[in-house]
Structure 1
Amino acid sequence: MQLADMQDVLIVEDSNLHRQLASEICQQLGFSSVRHAANGEEGMAMARERLPDLMLLDLEMPRMDGVQVMQQLAAEKLAPYIVLTSGKDYMLISTLELMGAGLGLQVLGGLKKPLNKNQLLDLLQRLYPQAGKNGETCPLYDPANVRQALELGQIIPYYQPKTDLKTGHIKGAEMLARWQHPECGLIAPARFIPVIEQNDWATELTLSMLEQGLSQWQEWARHGLRLPLSINLSARSLQGNSLITAVESRLQRSRVPARYITFEITETAISDSLTDAIGIAARLRLAGMGLSIDDFGTGFATFQQLTRFPFTELKIDQSLVTSIADKPHLQAITDSIIELGTRMKLCTVAEGIETQQDLDIMQQHGCQLGQGYFIARPMDASQFLPWAKQHQPGFNPTPRAVN
């Protein structure tokens, strides 16, 4: 959903003054329907009657507070986009943002009261636009459709640049799976990745992405671009011995140097099957590939994992990057993570850079690389080469043989 598609907002707020202010702001932002609820119980009843596109949810209310509302929304599988509002400190608001996300709710962020139009607009503009026409009605979650897409090569990599935060020069790219549906257009990963995970096709997807990435690397190399590529590795792939053999055989056939490939593993993935995961991680590094810990800062055991796995890169989770200018406690945590990465000689990458302010803060705190919509959205291969040309000094796109 994009901002322009949002029509109905439900303001759940017990203060008449703050409710009126929020209503005026939402009308100024173009919402055609602005509804009000004076407490959590009333808000839940209105959400059941008609699910809003957006809910502005106060945290402190009589007769069901904002925490209880989120818990009830999750229990009833009601999932509007949510912006939390409160007069409390940012640490508490941020804690409840994470709680909402953990419940599976679409929490865009939290704002201190009184509500500010520009801050709310900034949160709303961060909505990921769902690509594709009529995507909501296509049977995209059906395993047979996803299976067919894998077999027909419809799931392809898009490339999101990683750039040096000081110079803006391109330093690599993350490969992100997209489904090029023949009828519905480009399908976002949230619509098919869970199906792949549930059916144990994750390793097959990883190898497909690797093959396509290696082929694309060769093509770009003929144009003078030799760029490190990162590939996401699922928890389902961190078991057994078949993955390493399959990866090494594809690298050997492609003749792409192993140092140009990095596998990204989330902290939650490596905690699922620790012994197997350590063995696979070590073998990937022994083969010369890089290893990145993704979404760093979101798991309870994250720091312990740094002592167990031979990582080469540390990716700071978006929740510790995006819009933390007014959240000193998150800045302190992020600063500590960057310092830790630097001391351990790991490349630090900030995910989810969406504004100039995000970029400036990460640069000021010493983070090396960044990626996010402010820098560049994920692109297909045809769009990526000209973008790289503009962001790599001395890049000469003259075709030549690959050594």
Structure 2
Amino acid sequence: MTLNLAELSVMVVEDHEFQRVVAEQALKGLGIKNLRLANNGSDALKQLENSPVIDIVICDLDMPEMDGIQFIRHLADEGYARAVIVASALAPSLIRTVEDMAQEHGLRVLGALPKPLSRDRVRELLKLYSVRTRPSNTVSHLHFTEEDLQKALDDDQFILHYQPKVLVRSGRLVSMEALCRWPHPEIGMVSPAHFIPLMESTGLIHQLTGRLVSQTLKQLRSDLDHGRAISIGVNLSPVVLTDTALPDDIYKKTRALNINPELLTLEITESTLIENAAKALETLARLKMKGFSLSIDDFGTGYSSMQQLNRIPFSELKIDQSFVQSANTDKTRKAIIEANINLAHTLEMETVAEGVETLEEWHLLDQLHCDMAQGFLIGKPMPAEELPEWEKQWTDKLPLPLPPDKPPAK
């Protein structure tokens, strides 16, 4: 559903009167009715103390009394806003640092605006609120017990949705990522963030992993029976990497269904390799020896990135969406993506860009010779039965059109 901008509540925090008026006119011109104005961070916090949560705060950085950097911290601590846009004429490198800080505080960052504010650019960022950050209808604070999760396992309530991965050069479907979902019989769809940590701490993650791998292999077998050799990636928790019996267990399942192990990609988040390194390395080495593909997920967001590439024989490198988004207008992020792609290709690894949501991002990845992409531009995670219709609609869109002209990265 397309977001009606008039539904949004927005606050502008700006100490310069002229810039504040320009921002007010731009937002009112876009139909924003619920609009608040503040001349510094302290003033803004006073206004927000007893008011409903604001959808978006557009915040200057260099202000008297309480600057924008301090204000963003308080904004996150108090939970006063859902998303933030940084509006500043300061150096892009400083703005990037503030954006990263806001994200670390748990705020959703829609982007940055130069001054004076342009109505078109404001509209563009406000629309991202509906695409990337609009609150869902799911419950945000859920608490489950070990017994709840065990019953869900016993009742086979956990399912897989599949997100397509396509070649950037041609758009052809070549792989999918299997993502766990829990359609709770009373609550509805529950995000993995609400149950995976408890699964890991109780050890139930071993049962869940076994079942999800089995579901994935059944899907692979079905695809093969229909003449399709589409590889599927499954995420492995750091907890299961300490199970040295895991390689044999998965290999037996592939043999039973007569599936080439190369069609199953096991995705490991970079930061998960820090603990229990000896057992994790044994497990990964034996998985690779048995023919499974290994993918390093969220590359560049954890620690000792280069060390992991040196120690583990990965065949795929996934570039985190935090680098992909805004890369068209951020030369640092663009340079990081390009360096990662070149590094991966030198090491004979394929590259996958995650979180691709715009034509601009798609065409930039094509220019940088990224191999594959996944994200909402291509397709959201979906049940297996929806994949044929998605593929038909996706194929009809190809080749993707060129995006409208945009300013170069700064």
Q: Report Cα offsets for 1:286-313 as digits up to 9, x if no partner.
A: 1111111111122242122111111100
Aligned length in residues:
390
Taking a change above 3 Å as real, the CA distance of residues 136 and 235 of structure 1, as seen in their structure-2 partners, is same
Taking a change above 3 Å as real, the CA distance of residues 261 and 77 of structure 1, as seen in their structure-2 partners, is same
Measured in 1, the distance between the counterparts of 2:283 and 2:258 equals 22
The percent of aligned pairs where both chains have the same amino acid is 35
> Is 1:9–1:53's contact at 8 Å kept on the other side of the alignment?
yes
Deviation at 1:321, TM superposition (A): 0.9
Q: Determine whether 1:48 maps to 2:53.
A: no
Deviation at 1:157, TM superposition (A): 1.0
TM-score, normalised to structure 1, is: 0.88
Q: 1:214 aligns with which of 213, 217, 220?
A: 217
> Is 1:173–1:228's contact at 8 Å kept on the other side of the alignment?
yes
Measured in 1, the distance between the counterparts of 2:124 and 2:185 equals 38
Deviation at 1:209, TM superposition (A): 1.7
RMSD: 2.6
The corresponding residue for 2:35 is 34
Measured in 2, the distance between the counterparts of 1:212 and 1:9 equals 44
Q: 1:309 aligns with which of 296, 309, 312?
A: 312
TM-score, normalised to structure 2, is: 0.86
- 1:86-97 maps to which residues of 2 (within 5 A)? 86-97=88-99
Deviation at 1:375, TM superposition (A): 1.1
Q: Report Cα offsets for 1:140-174 as digits up to 9, x if no partner.
A: 43235444333322221111111010111011001
The corresponding residue for 1:363 is 366
Measured in 2, the distance between the counterparts of 1:147 and 1:45 equals 46
Taking a change above 3 Å as real, the CA distance of residues 261 and 49 of structure 1, as seen in their structure-2 partners, is same
Structure with the larger RCO, 1 or 2 (CA within 8 Å, 6+ apart): 1
Q: 1:123 aligns with which of 121, 128, 131?
A: 128
Taking a change above 3 Å as real, the CA distance of residues 338 and 142 of structure 1, as seen in their structure-2 partners, is same
Deviation at 1:29, TM superposition (A): 4.4
> Is 1:2–1:129's contact at 8 Å kept on the other side of the alignment?
no
Deviation at 1:24, TM superposition (A): 3.5
Deviation at 1:128, TM superposition (A): 5.0
Unaligned segments of structure 2, at least 5 residues: 397-410
Taking a change above 3 Å as real, the CA distance of residues 366 and 8 of structure 1, as seen in their structure-2 partners, is same
The corresponding residue for 1:20 is 21
Deviation at 1:392, TM superposition (A): 7.8
Unaligned segments of structure 1, at least 5 residues: 394-403
Mean CA deviation greater in 108-117 or 91-100: 108-117
Query: For residue 68 of structure 1, what is the amino acid of its counterpart?
Result: Q
The corresponding residue for 2:407 is none
Mean CA deviation greater in 146-155 or 329-338: 146-155
Deviation at 1:79, TM superposition (A): 5.5
Query: For residue 324 of structure 1, what is the amino acid of its counterpart?
Result: A
- 1:1-400 maps to which residues of 2 (within 5 A)? 3-4=3-4, 7-50=8-51, 51-76=53-78, 80-115=82-117, 116-128=121-133, 135-136=138-139, 140-143=142-145, 144-388=147-391
Deviation at 1:230, TM superposition (A): 0.4
SS in 2 for 1:348: strand
Deviation at 1:219, TM superposition (A): 1.8
Measured in 2, the distance between the counterparts of 1:2 and 1:48 equals 30
Deviation at 1:338, TM superposition (A): 0.7
Measured in 2, the distance between the counterparts of 1:130 and 1:80 equals 8
